Structure formats: structure tokens, C-alpha cells
Amino acid sequence: ANSIVVLGIETSCDETAASLVRRNPDGSGDILSNVVLSQLDEHAPFGGVVPEIAARAHVEALDGIISQALARAETTFDDVDAIAATSGPGLIGGLIVGLMTGKAIAAATGKPLYAVNHLEGHALTARLTDGIRDPYLLLLVSGGHTQLLVVAGVGDYRRLATTIDDALGEAFDKTAKLLGLPYPGGPEVERRAASGNPLRFDLPRPMRGEERLDFSFSGLKTAVRQQAAKHAPLSEEDVADLCASFQKAVTDTLEERLSRGLERFRADFPEIDTPALVVAGGVAANRAIRTALASLTDRHGFRLIAAPIELCTDNAAMIAWAGAERLALGLPAVTDDVAPRSRWP
Ligand code: KG4
Ligand code: ZN
């Protein structure tokens, strides 16, 4: 086997990203370049991602971002073995831009195109960064997703749990908004929580004790709203205490829900001595959550793999890598009629 180089394209939400990744004959990988343009400033005034603005920004930026990714990797299309573009799930306008661009490059260069599920990109990142080959548990916590999955191999994903209402990042963002804090709310809630009292407000621990592994976060947000209304107008101290109490409820909930997930995994894969819990998605940047997960995995004899933040949040290296893994396995590329899918479980 030779090494292969894949160009990845990611445009499913509000990041325009391109990356070149090499997969070596031994299965390890190297990121040759990883360019991410965040549209945050364009969406911030609206308090969330505006699909129409996102699609237009992708159109304007993507060609330049791909050129930058090629230049930083000191490579050209000639040396690329395949193109991989996110084709779902996500905002349809952005997906069209990325997938069409991938098709155009594939048509012009004669290289194969892989249409990658964005979640598969997140799911396989640990195989790139950590070289892990055993099945592992993946906690994916972002603005759009909250899932617990078993990643048993390329193309072999079993979802153990999902949120029945809000995604965890969404709960952070909505909580921030109702406290008058700017978007994106996660980092701001974490910052305020640092000086707050996590025990002041008695917030619910959704799903506690339930047999099924699913998550729920909308009730928590509603409880924050009720407390905020009761104590209005809020002082800085009230806001800090609410943020701290919210974050504590989140970490408690994750610990309770996940301890069941870890036990389930242990029972299903008794042959793995020290299994891994991989955490990915923007919410994985939260230090309180990382600390809680570290102590949880410690107690259960798991190791915690948290990719560097720039590979936890949306990027194209994970898309390129998913394409490289598929190419290495000899899985078929897509044909020209492949369509983007805004929903793709
Ligand atoms: O993975 P990501 O960059 O984009 C997608 O949603 O796909 O995740 C963004 C989400 C936002 O909801 C943001 O508020 C949250 O991740 N987030 C955080 C933190 N940093 C980002 N949530 C809690 N604490 C943080 N430090
Ligand atoms: Zn994502």
C-alpha cells in the first residue's frame, strides 16, 4: 500500500474549511494543512447561525480556502488521490456549495469523490489523532448534536443515546441568551460560571435514574429561565451563580448518564482491557466538562481521549480523514448524481 493524500471540504454549518491529510501505509495519518474560516462575526449580531448568510459566505470563501489548504500543504491537485466533501447532515445551502465544489474538482481532475457524513468525520477523528483501532465510545457534544456512539470500525457505528430535545451546545447557547449573554453562549457561560456559586440554585438533573441512555436538556434551560424571572433584575452575581449552577447540573447529568454508557460498553466489549471514551464537538472545549469526564473515566477504568480543540470543533481534516479511510478500504467513491442531505442520521 502507498500513502494517500485526500483533500477534505467542510461547509455544513458556519465554518468554511479545507484540509489535506495523508494516510500512511501503516494506517497512521498526518495533517498536512487544516484551514478553517469561522463565520462567527457575520452571525453574532443575529444571536445564531443564519442559513442564508452562511451559504453565501461559503460561496465567497471556499475557493480561496481550498487554495490556501493546498499551498500550506505545499501540494497541488496533481498529488491528491481523492476529494472528500461533507454531504450532510447540516444546513442545505452550505452542503450544496461544498459538495458541488467537490464534484467540480473531481470532474476536472478525474479523481474520485467521497461524500462524507459530517458525524462520521467526528467519529473517526480519534483514529487519526490517537491511532486507536479498538472499538471505542464516542461522546459527540456540539451545537447540533448530542450523541453517544460505539465506533466499532470504519462504517460501523452504533448509536447508544441521543438527546430527546435540545443539543447540549444549544442548551448552553439558549441559557446564555436568556441571561443576556452574547452568542455563542458556551464559552461565555463557562467564563461567568468560574466566579459563581454552583450550589445556589436548585436545578433539575434531567433523565436521572432512567434505564435508557438518552439525554435531555430543554428542562434545564427552562428551569434557568424560571429562576432568572424570579430574581429579575439579575445582578452580575446572580448571572454568575446561575451559570455555575447550570454548568454543575450539566456535568452531574453527563456523569450519571455516561456511567451507564461506560458500563454498557464494558459488558459488550469485555476483551478490551482499558477502553477509551472519546469526546468531540465544540462543547468538549468546556473545562468543567473535561474535568468531570476525566474523573468519570478514571473511576470506570477507561481512558479519556479529548482531541485538541481545533479538531473537536468543525474542521475539514476530519472529513479528509474519513475519505482516506474509505479509500484505503477500497470502498467505492460516489457518482456524480450524489445529492446533499440536510438530515442524515
Ligand atoms: O462543534 P461546534 O463548533 O459546532 C457545531 O455545533 O457543529 O460546537 C459549537 C457549540 C456551540 O453551541 C457553543 O456554545 C459550544 O459548542 N461551546 C461550548 C464551549 N465552547 C463552545 N459549550 C460549553 N463550553 C464551552 N467552553
Ligand atoms: Zn460538527
**Is 275 inside a domain boundary?**
yes
Q: How far is the CA of 99 from the centre of ligand 1 (A)?
A: 24
**Whether residue 220 sits in one domain with residue 277:** yes
Whether the predicted pLDDT of 7 surpasses 80:
yes
Whether the predicted pLDDT of 1 surpasses 80:
no
Instruction: Please report the DSSP string for 302-333 in residue order.
Output: -EEEE--HHHHSS-SHHHHHHHHHHHHTTPPP
Q: Judge if the beta carbon of residue 89 lies within 6 A of ligand 1.
A: no
Compute φ and ψ for 215, nearest 5 degrees.
-110, 160
In the chain, the amino acid numbered 264 is R
**Whether residue 317 sits in one domain with residue 218:** no
HSE at residue 27, side-chain half, CA atoms within 13 A, is 9
**Is 270 inside a domain boundary?**
yes
Ramachandran sector of residue 240 (left: φ over 0; alpha: ψ -120 to 50; beta: rest): alpha
Residue whose CA lies nearest to ligand 1 atom number 8 = 282
With a cut of 0.85, is the ipTM above it? yes
Ligand 1 atom closest to the CA of 288, numbered from 1: 24
**Is 32 inside a domain boundary?**
yes
Cell of 117: 457524513
Binding site listing? 118, 122, 140-144, 173, 186, 190, 286, 314
Mutation probe of ligand 1 site: the residue of 16, 140, 142 with most atoms within 8 A of C-beta: 142
Q: pLDDT tens digit string along 104-139? A: 999 999 999 999 999 999 999 999 999 999 999 999
Domain of 180: which CATH number? 3.30.420.40
Q: Judge if the beta carbon of residue 281 lies within 6 A of ligand 1.
A: yes
**Do the Cβ atoms of 324 and 21 come closer than 8 Å?**
yes
Q: How far is the CA of 337 from the centre of ligand 1 (A)?
A: 33
Mutation probe of ligand 1 site: the residue of 283, 289, 319 with most atoms within 8 A of C-beta: 283
Q: How far is the CA of 231 from the centre of ligand 2 (A)?
A: 36
Q: Judge if the beta carbon of residue 184 lies within 6 A of ligand 1.
A: yes
- Rounded Cα distance between 9 and 62, Å, is 9
Query: What's the pLDDT at 325?
Result: 97
Q: Judge if the beta carbon of residue 173 lies within 6 A of ligand 1.
A: yes
If one counts every other C-beta atom within 10 angstroms of the C-beta of residue 292, the result is 20
Nearest to 48 by CA among 173, 192, 190, 225: 173
Q: Judge if the beta carbon of residue 12 lies within 6 A of ligand 1.
A: no
Q: pLDDT tens digit string along 181-235? A: 998 899 999 999 999 999 999 999 999 999 999 999 999 999 999 999 999 999 9
**Do the Cβ atoms of 15 and 95 come closer than 8 Å?**
no
Q: Judge if the beta carbon of residue 196 lies within 6 A of ligand 1.
A: no
Q: pLDDT tens digit string along 242-299? A: 999 999 999 999 999 999 999 999 999 999 999 999 999 999 999 999 999 999 999 9
**Do the Cβ atoms of 36 and 62 come closer than 8 Å?**
no
Q: How far is the CA of 256 from the centre of ligand 2 (A)?
A: 24
Cell of 50: 443564519
If one counts every other C-beta atom within 10 angstroms of the C-beta of residue 198, the result is 18
**Whether residue 12 sits in one domain with residue 80:** yes
Q: CA geometry: angle at 15 spanning 178 and 68, to 5°?
A: 150
Q: Which domain holds residue 112?
A: 4-129+312-328
Nearest to 318 by CA among 43, 33, 120: 120
Q: pLDDT tens digit string along 312-338? A: 889 999 999 999 999 999 999 998 899
**Is 337 inside a domain boundary?**
no
- Rounded Cα distance between 294 and 292, Å, is 5
**Whether residue 171 sits in one domain with residue 233:** yes
**Whether residue 249 sits in one domain with residue 161:** yes
Rounded to the nearest angstrom, the gap between the alpha carbon of residue 309 and the centroid of all alpha carbons in its chain is 10
- Residue 2, burial from CB neighbour count under 10 angstroms (0-12, 13-18, 19+): exposed
**Whether residue 176 sits in one domain with residue 66:** no
Q: Judge if the beta carbon of residue 323 lies within 6 A of ligand 1.
A: no
**Whether residue 46 sits in one domain with residue 16:** yes
Q: Judge if the beta carbon of residue 285 lies within 6 A of ligand 1.
A: yes
Give the pLDDT band of residue 40 (cuts 50, 70, 90).
confident
**Whether residue 265 sits in one domain with residue 148:** yes
**Is 90 inside a domain boundary?**
yes
- Rounded Cα distance between 300 and 261, Å, is 11
**Whether residue 82 sits in one domain with residue 230:** no
Alpha-carbon distances, residue 313 vs 76, 142, 340 (angstroms)? 26, 8, 21
**Whether residue 295 sits in one domain with residue 165:** yes
Ligand with an atom nearest the CA of residue 119? 2
Whether the predicted pLDDT of 307 surpasses 90:
no
Q: How far is the CA of 281 from the centre of ligand 1 (A)?
A: 7
Mutation probe of ligand 1 site: the residue of 172, 178, 220 with most atoms within 8 A of C-beta: 172
**Whether residue 316 sits in one domain with residue 281:** no
Mean pLDDT score, 29-56: 91
Q: Judge if the beta carbon of residue 187 lies within 6 A of ligand 1.
A: yes
- H/E stretch holding 21 reads strand 15-23
Query: What's the pLDDT at 48?
Result: 84
What are the residues whose beta carbons fall under 8 Å from the beta carbon of 110, sequence distance 6 or more? none
How does DSSP classify residue 163? Answer: B
**Whether residue 90 sits in one domain with residue 200:** no
**Is 335 inside a domain boundary?**
no
Compute φ and ψ for 227, nearest 5 degrees.
-65, -40
